[in-house]
Each structure stands twice: as structure tokens, then as C-alpha cells.
Amino acid sequence: MRSIASFIHRCTAEGAFPGAVWIVGNKDVVLETGCAGVLGAGLGSVRPDSIYDIASLTKIFVTLALMRQMEDGLIRMEDTAGFFLPQWRGAPKAHITIKELLTHTSAMPSLTGLYRYAPTRGAMLEAIRLCPPRADSPDRVLYTCEGYILLGEIIAAIDTLPLDEVIVKRVLEPLGMKDTCYRPPPILRERIAAAEQCPWRARLLRGEVHDENAFVMGSVSGNAGIFSTAADLAGIAAFMLGSGNADGFLQTATVNMMIRNYTAGRGQNRGLGWLLAGPGSPAGDIMPADSFGHTGFTGTSIWIDPVSGIYGVLLSNRVHPSRDNGKIFRVREIFHNLIALNYGR
């Protein structure tokens, strides 16, 4: 049986990504951690504390913040966008609910290349507000970043704070995450993995959000923009395996509600903010149907198996120097297979 370390080193050598950090653990301890490769062409070696643009793993942080607002009695799953955002009242999609946004089953369409015709934060929010409802049936899951941009605006409105401050207050400080942030300061640059040589911005991205829509939003958005380490993300996984109650962060009932399957038979299995094993998931061949996690476009992922009580975090910059590298999709599934084989039961 191949070790996880030898597999990741082989993937690096074969060009799946310039480098990566991984952690496997359970709710109590880290079982394995390692790193391989470099932060980018001509840059230093990856270290255990290297920082990556986690892309859509940002959505996990937004979800956790929203769950804390729910426990504070500020929100419920059937509340609508129009209830919290006055400018949405009377808009074509004002009836969209929090639950629909979290499960990607709302009337929100996926707007390809939104940043190209909505070049400012105000224009982007207006385009999302006024765009027609999706043409296909909301009975099917349609993954959209636009829905999470809207969720970011909602949770900011609820706390009457900028989104990045909500995430600090609701998630980062309670969980003790010191290496996770939007818009990392220059002092962290040497620890940050390079992302793409961006053709739209005509520069190499390092410490600058890769997602174009998030960049237009001022690099603070509900869909992407957070930078983090494998160790910080492992803390979220361990918390989820512990079924909540870590220093009162979230209650067990809330954690269980998040990982319920709300979309069986609708094209993909979705919890509240989490992707569950099934069609279109990176769970691999062995992880059970109860496993769940999330992925990020830049080459990041977190996957959690509550049956065996283990998790795996993999951070890479597979978009460096170009996003035209799809090897990560196969890599993730094999990585999860090896976690299950080496540490499952």
C-alpha cells in the first residue's frame, strides 16, 4: 500500500502542482502531516506553515459564521434575501432563502465571466440582484459563487460589520486561527504559495486573491478570498468530528443539521455549506456515504469521514503557473482513498 507522503511527492514530480501541504487527523490528534515541492517557480520550499489561497473553502467560513448567527437567534434557514437586504425587496429573486443559498438550490444562476461586465463591487452586486432567475429547475443543484457572494452580504448586514470583520469575530477568533485572513499583509508574503500568472490582471498572483469575482469585490467576498494554512483548516475538521461544543463555538444539533443531505436525487448531495459524498464529489472509492467536505479551485480541499472519525486536508497551488492543469481532480480522490486505507476502520 502506497504511503500518502510518497504519493504527494510523486504528484509534485509529475506536475499536478508545484507543491502541497497535507494533514490527516482525528478530533483529538494529528495522525500525519507533511509537505512537498516549492511555493512556485523560483520560490522557496513548501513548509508546514505555508499559506495558500483556499478559494471556495472560503464558503465554509461563511457557513460557520452564519450558523453562529442562527444560534444567536438572528437568522433562520427560511429567511429570505429581501428580509435582510432592503435593496433586494421587489427584485426578481428577493424570495431566495438562506437554506436555498447554502444548498445551491436557489433561483440564482451561475453567471459566467461576471467580473468582465461588472468591473466594480457595486456593479457586481447590482448584476447579481437584477439578473433573471436561472432557466433550469431549482429542484436541481446548481453550484454558484454568486449565491455565496449574496450570503456574504447578508451576514455582514446582520452583524452591521464588513464581511472580513464578521469572519474574524464569528470564526477566526473563537477557533484560534492566527494564520487565516482575507488580504494577507506583506509580512506574510514569503510564506504564501504563488497562484496563477493571471492573463486578465497581467501579473503573477501571490498573496492576492485568485478568484476574479472576489477581486472585484475588493478581495473580501463570500465566495472566495480567504488565505489559510493546513493546520488552521484541520482545526475546523477536528471540530466537525467532535460534533460541536468546542468552547461553545457551535452546538451539536447545529453541526448535525449542517451535514444532513438536503438534495438527494437532485444531481448532487448537499448539506448546509458542505458537499456530501456522491455524484460530483471528490470522496474517492472508499470514503463512506456519510463523509463530507469542500474543494477550492486553486487546488485545495478538506474531507471528513465521521464513520472512521478521520479527516484529510490538502492544500496545493495547482493553478500555478496556469489554471489549465486538471490533474488535481484525480489526485484528490486517490488522496482520500489512501487516507481511508491507512487510517480508516
Rg (CA), the chain: 19
Tell me which residue has cell 436561472: 134
Model pLDDT, residue 136: 83
Model pLDDT, residue 284: 98
Model pLDDT, residue 345: 80
Q: How far is CA 115 from CA 102, 112, 229, 329, in A?
A: 22, 9, 27, 25
Interhelix angle for 4-13 vs 328-343, to 10°? 170
Model pLDDT, residue 155: 98
Residue 286, Cβ neighbours under 10 Å: how many?
Answer: 16
**Is pLDDT at 245 greater than 60 in this prediction?**
no
Question: What one-character DSSP code corresponds to residue 298?
Answer: T
Host domain of residue 95: 4-343
CA distance 22 to 280: 22
For residue range 38-73, what is the model confidence (pLDDT) as tens digits?
Answer: 999 999 999 999 999 999 999 999 999 999 999 999
Please state, for a pLDDT cut of 70, what percent of the chain lies above it. 98
Average of per-residue pLDDT across 276-282:
96
Structural domains in the chain (count): 1
Model pLDDT, residue 1: 61
Q: Which of 92-96, 224-228, 245-249 has the lowest mean pLDDT?
A: 245-249
Model pLDDT, residue 120: 98
Please state, for a pLDDT cut of 90, what percent of the chain lies above it. 96
Model pLDDT, residue 248: 77
Spatial CA neighbour of 322 closest among 193, 198, 213, 212: 198
For residue range 96-153, what is the model confidence (pLDDT) as tens digits?
Answer: 999 999 999 999 999 999 999 999 999 999 999 999 999 887 789 999 999 999 999 9
For residue range 247-277, what is the model confidence (pLDDT) as tens digits?
Answer: 679 999 999 999 999 999 999 999 999 999 9
Model pLDDT, residue 34: 98
Average of per-residue pLDDT across 15-24:
98
**pTM for this structure?**
0.97
CATH code, 177? 3.40.710.10
Cβ proximity of 66 and 80 under 8 Å? no
